Amino acid sequence: MTNFKFEYIWLDGYKPEASLRSKTKVLAFKDFDGKVESLPEWSFDGSSTEQAEGHSSDCLLKPVSVYPDAGRKNAYLVVCEVLNPDGTPHSSNTRALIEDDSEDYWFGFEQEYVFTLDKLPLGFPSSGYPGPQGPYYCSVGSGNVAGREIVEEHLDLCLEAGISITGINAEVMLGQWEYQCFGKGAKKASDDLMVSRYLLARTAEKYGVKIDLHPKPVKGDWNGSGMHTNFSNEAMRKEGGKDLFHAICEAFRPVHEEHIAVYGSSNEQRLTGLHETQSIDQFSYGVSDRGASIRIPVSTAQNWLGYLEDRRPASNADPYLVTARIIKTVEGALIPQTV
């Protein structure tokens, strides 16, 4: 028998955004088969995570997906849903809100974030500011980027875990980075993103820096951080047509506020109409328009097959809420065409 380490990961009950929590369970297997069904449920003190009262504090952890953990020996990362003692989904369990989890829906998250040290973005001087934005995006060289060694280590850990990271790049502000995370099915795509966030925070610990997911980490003439969400379903990828894509985009217009409500807190500081954003109180879409709420990629518009990019979600958004809301809106747009 061999001892294996399983890091049970879940979202707590803090508002406005939940934080990641985790604890290690050691289990002995002759040879772990890598299947989530082989892992037992566990429990934790919900009174310490804003998920229960002290007089009745037990919450359950139900494993739902498992990933190899290359950062530890004989270890795995386990995404868990939080359940009430009776086995029903806890009110903080946003993953349980996803109704359509078919692989018909594909999602690609563009996760932006900022490394911070002593409350300043990595690379910023201790007083004042670095040079204005311009030389930092997709740059190389000391003074133009900061934190590359953390980014590279994080990328390798994600790929070894089987997470489909499709790219990384330095972003517009110094100390700001982005990675792209793709998945088929809302739950799988969101699980992958949550594990990638966990690995990012854990890797940054080694270097003594923090990960800032605030959508406007530095006030003033600096880009904010988003989690642009690319999405498609089979109809968009195979049937297509300009009318279909415009109908889907128009379906987002009357429910703009419902989307903004689950797209992350403090997003009004980022969605100002400046720095490649549309104002939070307006909705628009356009081909190759990074100042729109929904961007229609030029590759999609060439033959009207492909995907759309929702540019509104903030970097701190809950991917389970984002994907559930997008699916609901897209499904609403398609119903009249199938009657």
Note the pLDDT of residue 333. Answer: 84
pLDDT digits (tens, 9 = 90+) for 182-201: 999 999 999 999 999 999 99
Q: What's the mean pLDDT in 295-317?
A: 98
pLDDT digits (tens, 9 = 90+) for 88-110: 999 999 999 999 899 999 999 99
Note the pLDDT of residue 62. Answer: 98
Mark residue 128 as left, alpha or beta (left: phi above 0; alpha: psi -120 to 50; beta: remaining): left
Average per-residue pLDDT for the chain: 96
Using an 8 Å Cβ cutoff, are 327 and 186 in contact? yes
Question: In the predicted model, is pLDDT for residue 337 greater than 70?
Answer: no
CA dihedral 307, 311, 317, 319 (to 10 degrees): 0
Tell me if the pTM is above 0.85: yes
Using an 8 Å Cβ cutoff, are 224 and 215 in contact? yes
Note the pLDDT of residue 332. Answer: 85
Note the pLDDT of residue 281. Answer: 96
Note the pLDDT of residue 338. Answer: 42
User: What share of the chain has pLDDT > 90, as a percent?
Assistant: 94
Beta-carbon contacts of 194 under 8 Å, excluding residues fewer than 6 positions away, are: 9, 11, 20, 79, 319
Question: In the predicted model, is pLDDT for residue 339 greater than 60?
Answer: no
Question: In the predicted model, is pLDDT for residue 335 greater than 70?
Answer: no
The class that CATH gives domain 106-338 is alpha beta
Q: What's the mean pLDDT in 124-148?
A: 95
Note the pLDDT of residue 336. Answer: 52
Label residue 20 by pLDDT band (50, 70, 90).
very high
pLDDT digits (tens, 9 = 90+) for 239-286: 999 999 999 999 999 999 999 999 999 999 999 999 999 999 999 999
CA distance 179 to 170: 9
The domain limits of the chain are: 2-94, 106-338
Architecture of the domain defined by 2-94: Roll (3.10)
